[in-house]
Structure 1
Amino acid sequence: MREVGIGIAGFGVVGGGVLSILRRHAGELEERLGARIVVRRIGLRHPEKERPVDVDPAILTTRLMDLVEDPEIAVVVELIGGVNQAFELVKAALERGKHVVTANKALLAARGEEIFRLARQKGVDVYYEAAACGGVPIIRTLREALASDRITALHGIVNGTTNFILSAMAERGEPIEVALAEAQRLGYAEADPTLDVSGGDAAQKLCILAQLAFGARLRPQDVLTEGIMGLKPEDFRWGKEFGYALKLLAIARRTTTDGGPDRIEARVHPAFIPAGSLLAGVRGAMNAVVLHSEALGPSMLYGQGAGAMPTGSAVVSDIIDLTRNILSGSPGRVPLPPEHPLVEVQGHDEVRCAYYLNFSVKDAPGVLARIASRLADHHISIAAVQQREQNDQGKPVPLVIVTHAAREKDLRTAIADIDHDSTILAPTRLIRIEVA
C-alpha cells in the first residue's frame, strides 16, 4: 500500500487531537484513500511534558527543521502558533516542495500573501481549514461549494470565548468581569484573554474569510475593530426591550454602487441583531457564519470553533485532501486565494448602519431636545427613544436613543459635539445595529 508521510510541528491540544483522529480512523482512511497516512516526525518544544496521547519517542524532535529535511515527509502540519517561527518553518517547507497544512490564523493574516505567492511558485498546496472557526467547514465552503456564486455579505460569530461571555451576560445579567472569570475557569478563555476580548482574534479570521469570499487583501489593521470590555449588563436589558440580541460580529459586505469600484467594508465589533435572526440563537462557545450570496441567498454554517477534536478534525480533513492530491498528482486542484486584490476596502468613516446610543444626562428640562437637535445637525434621524426615571435627585439619568441608518463619520462627529455639552455626565456609549 502506498504511504504519504506527514510531519506535525506542535504537539499541544490540537496536535494531540490530530494524532488521535488519524489513529482512530486509520482503517477507514486507508479504505477511502487506497493509501496509508503515516506520521513520521513530531516537532515539539518540551519532549518531557506529559501528553494526552502516547507516541513513540523515536519520532519526536525538538528541531523543527527535521520535518522539512526528512525526504519521506510530503506534508508539514504547522500547529505551533505565533508568526515568526511558524513563517520560517512554512517558508522552508514550501521551498523544499512540501505541502503545508496550518491552523494559524495569525500567520495567514500577517504573512499569507508571501506564503501563497511562494506556494504558487513551487507548485504546492497550502490548506488552512482550521484557521477560522475550528471544525466549522467555512474555508472549504467558500473555496469550493460556493465557487460558482457571488458572496454579497458575511456575518460571523467567529470567537467562541467572547460568545460564551456575552451569552452569560445576556442570560444571567452578569457584569463582564464575572462572565470572563467563569470563561477562564472553564477553559474557554486564556489566562491573558486580550486577543479574544479586544476583537483581535476575530479580525485575523475575518482577513482570511474576506480574502476567500471577496478577493480582498486585508491585514488586521485594515479592519475596524472594537472589543467587548466596554459592554454593561444594562446594554443587554435595553437591547431586549428593543427586540435585539448582542453579539461580537465579524462583518464583511460589498458596498459597490453603480459605476463605482468594487468595494467591501470590513469590521469587528459588538452589534445588536434582531432577536429572531439566525445568529441570535448561537449561544455559549459556538461559532457560526451567515453568508449571503446572489444564487443561494442566505445560508449558515454552525459548530464548535475550538478544542482538540473539532480543530483536529479540520486539520485532518485538510491532510486527507492533500493526500488525494499527492496520490493523483494534482496539486493546485483547489486554487489559492487570488494573487491580486479584486476589491478595495471602504474607509471606515463611510460605514452606514443604525446605532444604539446610551447617554448619561442631567435630570433637567430640554436635554432630549438638545441631543435630538445636535443629531439632526449631522443628518442623523431618531427611530426610538427610551428614558427611565431616576428617583435619586441629582443622579445621572440614562437616556437611550436608537437611530435610523447613518454614516459612521457623521455619527462620531455628532457624539463628540454632544459629549461637550454640560448636561452630558459621561462619555456616550454606542453599539451598532446590524440586520444579520
Structure 2
Amino acid sequence: MREVGIGIAGFGIVGGGVLSILRSHADDIEARLGARIAVRRVAVRDAGKERAVGLDPALLTTRVEDLLEDPEIAVVVELMGGVDSAFDLVRGALERGKHVVTANKALLAARGEDIFRLARQQGVDVYYEAAVCGGVPIIRTLREALASDRINSLHGIVNGTTNFILTAMDEQGARFEDALREAQRLGYAEADPTLDVSGGDAAQKLCVLAQLAFGARLKPEDVLTEGITALSPEDFRWGREFGYALKLLAIARRTGPAEGAAAGAPDQIEARVHPAFIPAGSLLAGVRGAMNAVVLRSEALGPSMLYGQGAGAMPTGSAVVSDIIDLTRNILAGSPGRVPLPPDRPLVELRPHEEVRCAYYLRFSVKDAPGVLARTASKLAEHRISIAAVQQREQNDQGQPVPLVIVTHQAREADLRGAIDEIDRYPTTLAPTRLIRIESV
C-alpha cells in the first residue's frame, strides 16, 4: 500500500488530538484513501515530557529541522502556535516543496500573504481548516462549497471563551470578573485571557475569513476591535427589555464601492469585532456556552449557518486530519493546487471605520435634573442621529446617577462618536456613555 509521510511540529492538546485520530481511525482512512498516512517525525520542545497520547519515542525530535530534512515527509503539520518560529518552519517546508497544514490563525493573519505567495511559487498547497472555529468546516465551505456564490456578509461567534463568559453573564447575571474566573476553572479560558476578552483572537480569525469570503487583505490592526471587559449585567437586562441578545461578533460586510468612486472601483467591506445586540430570535442568539457559529449571507444561497465546537483536542484535531487527508488525495493524484489559494491581490478595499452605519444602544449615566433628556436628544439630532426608543429609570437615592437608555436608528459611526463626545462633557453626565452596536443578523 502506498504511504504518504507527514511530520508534526507540536505535541500539545491539538497535536495529541491529531495523533489520537490518526491512530484510532487508521483503518477507515486507509480504506477511503487507498493509502496509508505515516507519521514520520513529531517535533517537541521536551522529548521527556509525559503526554496523554502515547507515541514511539523514536519518532520524537527536538529539532524541527528534522521534519524539513526528511525526504520521506511530504506534509508538514504546524501546531506550534506563535508567529515567528512557526513562520520559519512553514517557509522552510514550502521552500523544500513540502505541503503544509496549519491550525495557526495568528500566523495566517500576520504572514498569510507571504505564505500563500511562496506556496504559489513552489506549486504546493497550504491547508488551514482548523485555524478558525476548530472543527466547524467554515474554511472548506468558503473555499469550495460556496466558490460559485458571492458572499455579502459574515457574522460569526468565533471565540468560545468570550461566548462562555457572555452566556454566564446573561443567564446567571454574573459580573464579568466572576464569569471569567469560572471559565478559567473549567478550562475554557487561559490563565492570561487577554487575547480572547480583548477581541484580538476574533480579529485574527476575521482576517482569515474575510480573505476567503471577499478577497480582502487585512491585518488584525485593520479591524475595528472592542472587547467584552467593560460589559455589565445591566447591559444584558436592558437588552432583554428591547428584545436583544448580546454577543461578541466578528463581522465582515460588503458595502459596494466607496461613495463617489469611479466606475469599476472595487467594493468596500466593513471589518469589525465588538459586542453587539442581535434580535433574540435570530440564528446566532441561541449559540450558548463555548460553541462557535458563523452566519453567511450570499446572493445565490441566502442565509446559512455553520455551528459546532470551536476548540479542543478532538474537534480541532479532526479539522487538521481532514486537511491531511485532502492533501494526501492531492499528492496521490498528482494534483497540487486543486483548491486554489486566496487571490494574489486584494479584490476589495476596507471601508473606513468612521463610515460604518448601524443602529446603536446608548446607556447614559446622568443627573436626575430637568432638561437632561431633551438636551441629549437635541445633541443627537444635531449630529443627524434619529432616536428609535428611550427608556429611563427613576433613582430613589437623591444625587445618584440615573440610567438613560436610547436606541437609535441606523447612524454613521463618526456622527455618533461626535455626539457622545459632546454629551459626555456635559456637567449632568456622570460617567462615560456605554455604546453597543445593534446588528440585524
Aligned equivalent of 2:231 = 231
Q: Which amino acid aligns with 1:98?
A: K
Give the Cα separation in 2 of the matches to 1:428 and 1:13. Answer: 41
Aligned equivalent of 1:344 = 349
Give the Cα separation in 2 of the matches to 1:43 and 1:414. Answer: 55
Aligned length: 436
Aligned 8 A contact 2:266 2:347 in 1: no
Aligned residue among 277, 280, 284 for 1:279: 284
Aligned equivalent of 1:405 = 410
Where do residues 259-408 of structure 1 align in structure 2 (5 Å cutoff)? Answer: 259=263, 261-408=266-413
Task: Return the offset for 1:261.
Answer: 3.3
Task: Return the offset for 1:92.
Answer: 0.2
5+ long unaligned stretches in structure 1: none
Aligned equivalent of 2:157 = 157
Aligned equivalent of 1:135 = 135
5+ long unaligned stretches in structure 2: none
Give the Cα separation in 1 of the matches to 2:227 and 2:364. Answer: 20
Q: Which amino acid aligns with 2:356?
A: V
Aligned equivalent of 1:145 = 145
Secondary structure of 1:97's partner?
coil
Aligned 8 A contact 2:44 2:61 in 1: yes
Deviation digits for residues 88-136 of structure 1 (CA, Å, limit 9, x no counterpart): 0000000000000000000000000000000000000000000000000
Provide runs of 4+ in structure 1 moved above 2 Å.
257-261
Q: Which amino acid aligns with 1:395?
A: Q
Aligned equivalent of 1:109 = 109
Aligned equivalent of 1:125 = 125
Task: Return the offset for 1:373.
Answer: 0.4
Deviation digits for residues 55-81 of structure 1 (CA, Å, limit 9, x no counterpart): 000010000110010011000000000
Secondary structure of 1:264's partner?
strand
Q: Which amino acid aligns with 2:384?
A: H
Secondary structure of 1:279's partner?
helix
Task: Return the offset for 1:21.
Answer: 0.3
Aligned equivalent of 1:179 = 179
Give the Cα separation in 2 of the matches to 1:49 and 1:389. Answer: 61
Secondary structure of 2:73's partner?
coil
Give the Cα separation in 2 of the matches to 1:281 and 1:373. Answer: 37
Deviates further, 248-257 or 11-20: 248-257
Aligned 8 A contact 2:41 2:59 in 1: yes
Q: Would you say 1:418 and 2:423 are equivalent positions?
A: yes
Task: Return the offset for 1:358.
Answer: 0.5
Aligned equivalent of 1:51 = 51
Give the Cα separation in 2 of the matches to 1:396 and 1:311. Answer: 47
Q: TM-score of the superposition, structure 2-length normalised?
A: 0.98
Q: TM-score of the superposition, structure 1-length normalised?
A: 0.99
RMSD: 0.7
Secondary structure of 1:210's partner?
helix
Aligned equivalent of 2:197 = 197
Secondary structure of 2:252's partner?
strand
The percent identity for this pair of structures is: 82
Task: Return the offset for 1:48.
Answer: 1.5
Give the Cα separation in 2 of the matches to 1:403 and 1:262. Answer: 27
Q: Which amino acid aligns with 2:132?
A: A
Aligned residue among 426, 433, 440 for 1:428: 433
Q: Which amino acid aligns with 1:187?
A: G
Give the Cα separation in 2 of the matches to 1:345 and 1:304. Answer: 30
